[in-house]
Amino acid sequence: MYSPQVLDHFEHPRNSGLLDHPDASVQVENPVCGDVLRLSAIIVDGRISGIKFLSQGCVPAIACGSAVSELAKGKTIAQANALTRGELMEMLGELPEASSHAAALAMDALSKLLKSLESTVTSGYA
């Protein structure tokens, strides 16, 4: 059974879709279960002003994509880098142990996105 928060993010995902001209875009996959999560973001004045996700997978994978995008939006890269899996889980009200892979996928995607954004900002393109 999923928490009401997981079901809410699944049924009413936040920030889903594609961004036009993102500063960075990444895709991560879980080869074991087949879940795929794509994150893209735009940086304005040093903050993540826009972030979108696309997910293909189970209910928790979609919910985690939605939640991680909400957590990161409006933050600096450093603040987003400080986000923890615990904060993601707190937002979602826990996941069944068998679904913990979805939280790992979301945090891996965020980490990869932030590294890509850092190199974009460092090179002066954002």
> What CATH number should be reported for the domain holding residue 46?
3.90.1010.10
* Buried/exposed code over 39-51 (b: 16+ C-beta within 10 A; e: otherwise): bbbbbeeebbebb
Instruction: Judge whether 98 lies within some domain.
Output: yes
Q: How many domains does the chain have?
A: 1
- Phi first, then psi, for residue 97 (nearest 5°) are -50, -40
Measured from the Cβ of residue 119, the count of other Cβ atoms closer than 10 Å reads: 12
Instruction: Judge whether 125 lies within some domain.
Output: no
Instruction: Judge whether 107 lies within some domain.
Output: yes
Instruction: Judge whether 99 lies within some domain.
Output: yes
Per-residue tokens: 34: 């087949």
Q: What is the pLDDT along the chain (126 residues), one digit of tens a residue?
A: 899 999 999 999 999 999 999 999 999 998 888 899 999 999 999 999 999 999 999 999 999 999 999 999 999 999 999 999 999 999 999 888 888 899 999 999 999 999 999 887 666 655
Tell me the residue range of the domain where 87 lies.
4-116
The CA-atom distances, in angstroms, between 87 and each of 20, 71, 116 are 28, 8, 22
Instruction: Judge whether 67 lies within some domain.
Output: yes
Decide if 91 contacts 5 (C-beta within 8 A): yes
- Tell me what pLDDT residue 16 has: 97
For 125, the 3-state DSSP assignment is coil
Instruction: Judge whether 87 lies within some domain.
Output: yes
Instruction: Judge whether 22 lies within some domain.
Output: yes
CA dist., res. 72 & res. 104, Å (int):
15
Residues with Cβ within 8 Å of 85's Cβ and at least 6 positions away in sequence, in order, are 103, 104, 107
Amino acid at 114: L
- Tell me what pLDDT residue 126 has: 57
Instruction: Judge whether 20 lies within some domain.
Output: yes
